[in-house]
Structure 1
Amino acid sequence: MKQIFLAAAGVLLSLGVYAQNQAKGYVYNDLNANGKLDKAEKGLAGISVTNGTDVVQTDQKGYYQLPVGDDQIIAVIKPAGYKVPLNEDNLPQFFYNHKPNGSPALKYKGVSPTGPLPKLVNFFLSPAKEDSNFTALIFGDPQAYNLEEMDYFAKGVVSEVEGTKRAVFGLSLGDLVGNDPSLFAPYTKAVKRVGIPWYNLIGNHDINFDVQDDRYSDESYEAHFGPADYAFNYGDVHFIILDDIIYPDPRGGKSYWGGLRAGQLEFVKNDLKYVPKNKLIVLAFHIPIGFAGENEGFREEDRIKLFDLLADYPNTLSLSAHTHNQKQLFFSEKDGWKQAKAHHHYNVGTTSGNWYSGELNEIGVPVSTMSDGTPKGYAFINFKGNQYTVDYKVAGKPKEYQLEIYTPRVLEKDKKTSAGIYANFFMGGEKDAVLYRIDGGSWKKMKYVLENDPGFLAALHKWDHTETLLTGRRPSLPAECKHLWRAPVPASLAPGEHTVEVKATDMFGKTYTQTAKYRILTR
């Protein structure tokens, strides 16, 4: 259950906490990682523990004490250089769910009654070698609505990262399933195959829709994954995971609203008290924290309050999914960001792509290109100290495949045309450099445009004009692409075949090239 707070005369009043108790316990150095206290093992000092709002640190003996109500989760915030236990599905076990009476009766089961608060709620951390240079694997919206689509997810995405040695942990950015929490179990079995610790985040298709109060919309999620808001450290990076799905929409209606609750902002404030200012802060959400012109339904005042809390942290990154497109957003001072260097928000492309639509590929999985022309895939975020770079990986394609060129196949010599050369640079943003040349000539700049992706439009036209049944399912309508460039296509060259080469450089200085061909004909 979420904690709901009202500000009254400067005091935070909890509506989600009834009978107040004190959770007490120790955080132990579990040297042999057996999950129990042995003679030589001592408590760990200076470890943060939270009830979802308050954050305290353990004393010299590893002892902590926190207020807890009848429906709260106590969690340890993993420090760098340690690991938490994993369950059989590789899900990190860093929390204790205190719900004496269990979840309310819901269509999909929530948390079973946990009984009285234990005398001690202890946590065990094991020493782990953590390099400050590491990589995390990021999935956006697996969002399977049934077991067939879960199989598409497993075959089309999970199978190619199974047993990865590149990433040290994974994170799914919400919409783990499609409106059916009974699919959480097959989802966890699928990501277990990756073979690394896997963190999760709640999305708007993971909630309990049969509730009238936002406090209870995450009950089934909690039963499978634990707290919807939590934090952990790895290397020089501090990760904060936040549920930004408010349901039901407080403005009225049966939908949801993107935003943060007062208790969540208090959690971030209390958590950051113990995080050094030189750390990289990575925040993960489901719904993008959009701004004017890019608002995906997120409450603006909550973003401003969050930015206030981050004002003293020069190294930040935030992540989201939800849109089934891919975008690079940058928040500046005019958007409420408090620093000269803009804040980067990466809206990650999804593993389900365009909701498992499109024709089936050679392995029987829908192509499912997203409506902005980005092929379905996932991201590797590479951390080096408190800095980062991102690699987007298109599922089923070589890692070098980072852009697609669209050009007419044939042109009539010297005849004026409205056609053009388009380049969709999947990780691109408006300020990136995208150049083109014809037949090895001089490089010229392409123009950044906000249009529909030509390849996605062509796929739709195929579905709408076919006279035979295609495999799979028709994709959705197109969306404006935020990483598309255009250049004129010359028809004045000699008759014959000509090669278009595009060179694109992303915000991290990585350069990619791609080629395409077209022909000039005479009558």
Structure 2
Amino acid sequence: MDGKSLIISAFFCGMCLASGAQEAMLRFNGKVTDQSGKGIPGVVVNDGVHFTKTDKLGAWALNSDTTISKFVAISTPAAYVLPQQDGLATGHYIAVRDLAQAGGKYDFVLEKRKQADGRFHYIAISDPQVKNEKQLKRWCQETVPDLKEVIDSLKQSREVVAMTLGDLVWDNMPLFDEYQESVKNTGAVFFQCIGNHDFDKQYQDLHNMAMGTPVYGEMVYGSYFGPTDYSFNIGKAHIVTMKDINYVGGKNYVESLTGQQLEWLKKDLSYVPKGSLVILNMHAPVWNKVSPGGNVRNADALKEVLKDYKVHVFSGHTHFFQNNEVTPTLYEHNIGAACGGWWAGWVNQCGAPNGYMVVDVDGDNVKWHYKATRRDFAYQFRIYNKGEFTAQSSFVVANVWDWDSACRVVWYQDGKPMGDMEQFVGSDEERASQLKDRSQAEPTAHLFRAMPSDGAKQIKIEFTNRFGEVYTQTISL
């Protein structure tokens, strides 16, 4: 359906729904079955507000307020293949509009896995954010081939799931078609998350619009990718994606979750055993300490909902890299953007390269590596030689983007160990050099420095990540 037809259809549907509360409340039902038609019990079904589980015959039913609920979705059980078409996640939801037109009845069909495996690869990609054909060309010629090459390697050993963390486009809704085409048949099952630039800027998001509205900000996004809040299961992990942008129209928004969304998350997690691994995907980060301006406002409320689980949060939005160890069981990865500094060069605001995160999940153990576009996995930090970093001209500087407190950065001078490099907060040199006003460069805490002695000839820097893997680079002075 093209954009014009979608608007007309939504208008008439909205007019009908707004004509009275009695007409807006509909009872939906159906089954969840395997490919032989046998019902699957215990599958979680929700309409964005209400939840239920299928009975022993696989049957489900929900009474839905169609002015609020726009999709009915299942949380695919781990024992079943993630439904997809051409590598795009689909088949796990149905639009309420389509469900109503079908008489309120719909059956979800799942394929049983041949064998259970607690291991899979997970790829998190933030902010392709293509605004025009030129930027789309960079995404398609740089990032997508890099992704496909990595996925080809990964899928030899495990299933690969990919998640784009919002800002698929840059306020240019027609580019959804080309973006969607670009991530077909990569070898991974591709899911999406909505970002602030994925809303139709003519409108506010649904909960800010008048009850029964025929049009709203996330409507076009939904026509391509389905619900903004949904979950699924794979291996031992429960994976949740949520909209954390409160869009008020005209490119204006607040990074926050609504009370209704937090209730939705509580209900969703109520079906997940406490202590389980939960991967939560959102566009805006929550717990950044350096440059926290893009953080979600109701962080404490979200933290409370997540407290009983082992959680890894993946977020984008900021176009800089920051790891946040919130509690021993809550870790946020605010990863670098695929487009870096808005396709202006090859780095993000913090100097982390354009790229994406590759995560290895084995049971409830999680291990990750940032993959720089056009570089191999060994590229985990950058060195600036003495005199290259304007604000630290007497120092050798290392930018170690995936740093956290379990990592170590040490240096050697002419083969002699010199101990830990000094961590400092500053602006990355390459990023600052791209800006007309260097003072506008974002600060980052993943910078390290060491002052070589007069006459020193060679410096080696050694980065050991939290998994004990060692990466080294050596420069001549």
| Shorter-normalised TM range | 0.7 to 0.9
* 1:119 Cα deviation after fit: 3.9
Change (3 A) 1:309 1:431: same
SS in 2 for 1:49: strand
2:162 and 2:251 mapped to 1: Cα distance? 32
Shift of 1:193: 4.3
Q: How does 1:138-153 map to 2 (within 5 A)?
A: 138-153=124-139
Change (3 A) 1:378 1:476: farther
Shift of 1:69: 2.3
How far apart in 2 are the matches of 1:403 and 1:88? 35
- Describe the shift of the 1:16–1:445 C-alpha distance in structure 2 as closer, same or farther (beyond 3 A): farther
> Using the alignment, how far apart are the partners of 1:401 and 1:407 within structure 2?
17
**How far 1:443 moved relative to its partner?**
3.8
| Residues 372, 118 of structure 1: alpha-carbon distance in 2 compared, 3 angstrom cutoff | same
In 2, the alpha carbon distance for the partners of 1:490 and 1:231 equals 55
1:196 corresponds to: 188
Write the deviation string for residues 20-46 of structure 1: whole angstroms up to 9, x where unpaired: 11111100012xxxxxxx5xx310001
Structure 2 residue aligned with 1:120: 105
Map 1:268-417; keep pairs closer than 5 Å: 268-290=265-287, 294-300=291-297, 302-313=298-309, 315-332=310-327, 341=328, 343-358=330-345, 368-408=346-386
Q: SS at 1:401's partner residue? A: coil
Counterparts of 1:40-59 in structure 2, within 5 Å, are 41-59=37-55
Query: Is the 8 Å Cα contact of residues 43 and 54 (structure 2) preserved in structure 1?
Result: yes
Deviation for aligned residue 1:85: 3.1
Q: Quick one: distance in 2 between partners of 1:119 and 1:92? A: 19
Q: Distance in 1 between matches of 2:375 and 2:324?
A: 26
Superposed counterparts of 1:74-113, under 5 Å: 74-88=72-86, 90-99=88-97
Whole-Å Cα distance in 2 between the matches of residues 377 and 228 of structure 1? 24
Structure 2 residue 161 is the aligned partner of structure 1 residue 169: yes
Structure 1 residue aligned with 2:234: 234
Aligned positions of 1:206-285 closer than 5 A: 206-212=198-204, 214-215=206-207, 216-248=216-248, 255-285=252-282
- SS of the residue corresponding to residue 450 of structure 1 reads strand
Partners of 1:345 and 1:147 lie apart in 2 by 33
Over 3 Å counting, the alpha-carbon distance change for 1:176 and 1:212 in structure 2 is closer
Whole-angstrom distance in 1 between the partners of 2:344 and 2:439: 8
CA contact (8 A) 2:413 2:452 kept: no
- Residue 191 of structure 1 aligns with an amino acid whose one-letter code is V
Shift of 1:118: 2.5
Matched, 1:26 2:18: no
Q: Is the 2:27–2:104 contact (alpha carbons within 8 Å) kept by the matching residues of 1? A: no
Pair 1:132-2:118 in alignment? yes
Deviation at 1:264, TM superposition (A): 1.1
Deviations, residues 249-268 of structure 1 (Å, cap 9, x unaligned): 8xxx9611011112211111
Q: Name the TM-score, length of structure 1 as normaliser.
A: 0.79
Structure 1 residue 293 displacement after superposition = 5.4
Residues in 2 aligned to 1:84 and 1:123: alpha-carbon distance in whole angstroms = 12
- Distance in 2 (alpha carbons) for counterparts of 1:217 and 1:455: 36
1:239-293 CA-to-partner distances (Å, cap 9, x unmatched) read: 11000010118xxx96110111122111111111111123201111000013665
Taking only aligned residues, the RMSD between alpha carbons, in angstroms, comes to 2.5
Q: 1:377 to 1:444 in 2, by over 3 A?
A: same
Give, in whole Å, the separation in 1 of the partners of 2:424 and 2:381: 15
Answer yes or no: is the 8 Å Cα contact 1:214–1:248 preserved in 2: no
Residue 335 of structure 1 is matched in structure 2 by none
Cα deviation for residue 453 of structure 1 reads 1.5
Rate the CA distance shift 1:69–1:116 in 2: closer, same or farther, 3 A: farther
What is the Cα deviation at residue 205 of structure 1? Answer: 0.5
Letter of the 2:305 counterpart: L
Task: Report if aligned partners of 2:290, 2:443 keep a CA contact under 8 Å in 1.
Answer: no
- Give the corresponding residue for 1:467: none
Whole-angstrom CA distance in 2 between matches of 1:131 and 1:51: 29
**CA offset at residue 88 of structure 1?**
3.9
Q: Following the alignment from structure 2 to structure 1, what is the Cα–Cα distance between the partners of residues 125 and 306?
A: 25
Secondary structure at the residue paired with 1:442? strand
**CA distance 1:257–1:60, shift in 2 (3 Å):** same
**Corresponding position of 1:480:** 443
Identity of aligned residues (%): 28
- The secondary structure found in structure 2 opposite 1:388 is strand
Provide the C-alpha distance between the structure 2 equivalents of 1:155 and 1:16, rounded to a whole number of angstroms.
50
Residue aligned with 1:371, SS: coil
2:447 is equivalent to residue 447 of structure 1: no
What are the Cα deviations for residues 92-151 of structure 1, in whole angstroms up to 9, with x where unaligned?
221010137xxxxxxxxxxxxx75352421101101245212111111101110122111
Q: Which amino acid aligns with 1:199?
A: F
Using a 3 Å threshold, how does the CA distance of structure 1 residues 445 and 255 change in structure 2: closer, same or farther?
A: same
Question: Partner letter of residue 112 of structure 2?
Answer: P
- In the alignment, structure 1 segments of 5+ residues that lack a partner are 1-14, 31-37, 101-113, 333-340, 359-367, 411-416, 465-473, 519-523
CA distance in 1 between counterparts of 2:313 and 2:21 reads: 28
Distance in 2 (CA, whole Å) between partners of 1:89 and 1:290 is: 32
Structure 2: runs of 5+ lacking an equivalent: 1-19, 208-215
Paired residues, what number?
Answer: 438
Is this contact kept in 1: 2:75–2:233, CA < 8 A? Answer: yes
The DSSP-based 3-state class of the residue aligned with 2:445 is: coil
CA contact (8 A) 2:26 2:63 kept: yes
Report the Cα distance in structure 2 between the residues aligned to 1:26 and 1:137, rounded to whole angstroms: 31
What residue number does 2:396 align with?
A: 421
Q: CA deviation at 1:516?
A: 1.3
Mapped to 2, the partners of 1:76 and 1:421 lie a distance apart of: 53
Counterpart-to-counterpart distance in 1, 2:219 and 2:431: 38
Query: What SS does structure 1 have at the residue aligned with 2:248?
Result: coil
TM-score, reference length from structure 2? 0.86
Q: CA deviation at 1:455?
A: 3.4
1:181 is paired with a residue whose SS is coil
